[in-house]
Structure 1
Amino acid sequence: LLRRQGGEGFRANRMIAVCQYNSMPDEDMVLMRHYLRKHNIQVKFFLNEIVRPVLSQSKYKNLLPLFVARNILLVSPEAKAKEMLRVLKGVPQVNLLGACSDDTILSKQGVENFAKLPSLETTQGQVVGALALSSSQTSSLLQHGSAHLTALLEQHIRRLQDGETGSAA
């Protein structure tokens, strides 16, 4: 039953962080859980004897070296690395070892770099803005060429008309 729950925890969440857990007062643990829960991050305790067999038969087997001492898992259905790191910064008894986010295994440094990335919505907005800018510039250049050609043709017509008027007089 516990192995099945452990396996479901890995399959059902986009972000799974493995942390080394050193003993801490119960009230500190309650506070940490509360702050993490605000960001939809759950704290899971599994014995290594339960997690290791589950991991060894899954795509997460590269996380096995992290399960040596007392560990806790921080799991979330969303990739909330920035929020998780902010909470863990205030809890020295819990040390991030690594994580798996969207089926990508990350070291502690990788998680920190991942947390610095802008959100998907921000990136999409930047791409849309860049595409809109380039299309408006293209349109402007195309219109500029036709406007310039029209002005040259009008000038040429005026010269021709002035030439006809001058030769007729």
Structure 2
Amino acid sequence: MALYVKKATCEALTPLLTFKRFRGKINVQRPQVPHFDKAKYLALTKPWFLSKTKGKTPLELCTKDAIPSYKLKEDAEDMFQKIIAQEVNKWFHTSKLIGLCHVNPMPREQQFNAFKAFKLANMHFRQYGKKTLEMAIKGTKYETVLDFYVSRNMLIFSPEPEIKQMLKILKKFPAVVLMAGIYENRLVSKDDLQYYSTIPSLEVAQAGLVQTLNAAGSQLVSNLNAHQTTLVSHLEGRAKQLEEEK
């Protein structure tokens, strides 16, 4: 009897449990209708919102008065964006060559290589938002650039008019399409930029002009001294001939 009591009090009895789902799978898409009391409390506690656009025609919804009050208000003027706009305005007024480009989707690595190539050529490959660009150049002589700034656009700023160098770099990146440019404060097309790239620079043209003028002066001096030089050579030859006869 003592052994039986000890066994019964010291050992935990594990009940035999069998889990069984009622009527197979639970229907999630078409759940069972709840009980009346439960359905009543669910209906009372169901959240509801009053729509300000309910019962209005599409024409009425297009007016400004029909816009709900929960819409975001107009963003306040961002001081950082103002600083960026001042920087863009400075680039426009100090650059002798500006390229207006459209950028097709390209890998991030290729985009970094484009930034690097222009940086090594002392050019700046920049991307700005439409609002920032409007703050920078609206009301200035560069306002026409906003017509080209529609989708994914990039700007190339060059402190020197290195058109040939810019076109050479753009050939390596077909995703960057040159649309137009600003050369010496004039808006020019892509064809004009390609034509200007074939024209030598001002330094090369000046060197060629100086060489031409020097050549003309040297030719004139040689032509003026030609008869005297010929006479002197003939006299020297006759003198040598007379010396030989003696």
1:16-165 mapped onto 2 (5 Å cutoff): 16-144=98-226, 147=228
Q: Tell me if the contact between 1:14 and 1:102 (Cα under 8 Å) persists in the aligned partners.
A: yes
Alpha-carbon distance between aligned partners in 2 of 1:107 and 1:64, rounded to the nearest angstrom = 15
Question: Which is greater in Rg?
Answer: 2
Alpha-carbon distance between aligned partners in 2 of 1:93 and 1:8, rounded to the nearest angstrom = 27
Alpha-carbon distance between aligned partners in 1 of 2:212 and 2:146, rounded to the nearest angstrom = 43
Runs of 4+ in 1 over 6 A off after TM superposition: none
Q: Which residue of 1 aligns with 2:23?
A: none
Specify the SS of the correspondent of 1:90: coil
Specify the SS of the correspondent of 1:69: coil
Q: Tell me if the contact between 1:43 and 1:73 (Cα under 8 Å) persists in the aligned partners.
A: yes
1:8-23 mapped onto 2 (5 Å cutoff): 8-23=90-105
TM-score (norm 1): 0.78
Deviations 1:30-60 (A, max 9, x none): 1111111111111111112222353342222
Structure 2: state its 5+ residue gaps.
1-82, 232-246
Q: Which structure features the higher share of helix residues?
A: 1
Q: Which structure features the higher share of strand residues?
A: 1
Specify the SS of the correspondent of 1:24: coil
Q: Tell me if the contact between 1:18 and 1:99 (Cα under 8 Å) persists in the aligned partners.
A: yes
Alpha-carbon distance between aligned partners in 1 of 2:120 and 2:181, rounded to the nearest angstrom = 20
Q: Structure 1 residues 47 and 133, CA, compared in 2 at 3 Å: closer, same or farther?
A: same
TM-score (norm 2): 0.55
Q: Comparing both chains, which one has the higher relative contact order based on Cα–Cα distances under 8 Å and sequence gaps of 6 or more?
A: 1
Specify the SS of the correspondent of 2:181: strand
Deviations 1:136-159 (A, max 9, x none): 2222333346x39x95xxxxxxxx
Shift of 1:12: 2.0
Structure 1: state its 5+ residue gaps.
152-169
Aligned alpha-carbon RMSD (Å): 2.3
Task: State the AA in 1 paired with 2:106.
Answer: M
Alpha-carbon distance between aligned partners in 1 of 2:193 and 2:137, rounded to the nearest angstrom = 20
Q: Which residue of 2 aligns with 1:154?
A: none
Alpha-carbon distance between aligned partners in 1 of 2:193 and 2:92, rounded to the nearest angstrom = 17
Identical aligned residues as a percent:
27
